[in-house]
Amino acid sequence: QVRLVQSGGGSVQDGGSLRLSCAASDNNYRRDCMAWFRQAPGMEREWVATFSHVIGPANYADSVKGRFTISQDKNALYLDMNRLKIDDSAMYYCAADFVGACRGSSIGDKSRFTLWGQGSQVTVSS
C-alpha cells in the first residue's frame, strides 16, 4: 500500500523559514491533486495550499498567501514557508487525491483526500 512520507519541519523563530517535503513510498504513484493541511492543538484541520500540475496555478489560504509556496517535482511535493508567524505553529499534513479535489468548491475540502502523510510538526516561537 502506498504511503506519503513527510520530512522537514522543526522549530524556528518568528520570521524564519522552513521547508516541508512529502514523497510517495512508491515512485510509480501519481495523483493529480496534492495539498497541504495543518492542525493546531484543539483545532480543526485546516487547508493551507493546493496544487495540481493538470490545472496549473496553486491556491492558498489567505492566512499564508504571499508567505508559503507549494511546489512539486518528480520526486516530491514541497511547502516552502517564509516569514513564519507564531500562529503558523501546527502539525502539517500532505494529502493526495484525483484532480477533482483541486477543482472549484472542492478546493480546501479535506474530505476529498484519501491519502495522507504522517504529519510534520512546525513550531514557531518568539
Task: Please give the residue that has the higher pLDDT: either 106 or 92.
Answer: 92
Does the pLDDT value for residue 86 go beyond 90?
Answer: yes
Query: What sign does the dihedral 15-7-26-38 (CA atoms) show?
Result: negative
Confidence of residue 29 (pLDDT cuts 50, 70, 90): confident
Closest CA to 34 of 92, 86, 85, 76: 76
Looking at this protein, which amino acid is placed at residue 98?
F
Kindly calculate the radius of gyration of the chain based on its CA atoms and give it in whole angstroms. Answer: 14
What percentage of residues in the chain have a pLDDT greater than 70?
100
Mean pLDDT of the chain: 95
How many C-beta atoms lie closer than 10 Å to residue 97's C-beta?
Answer: 20
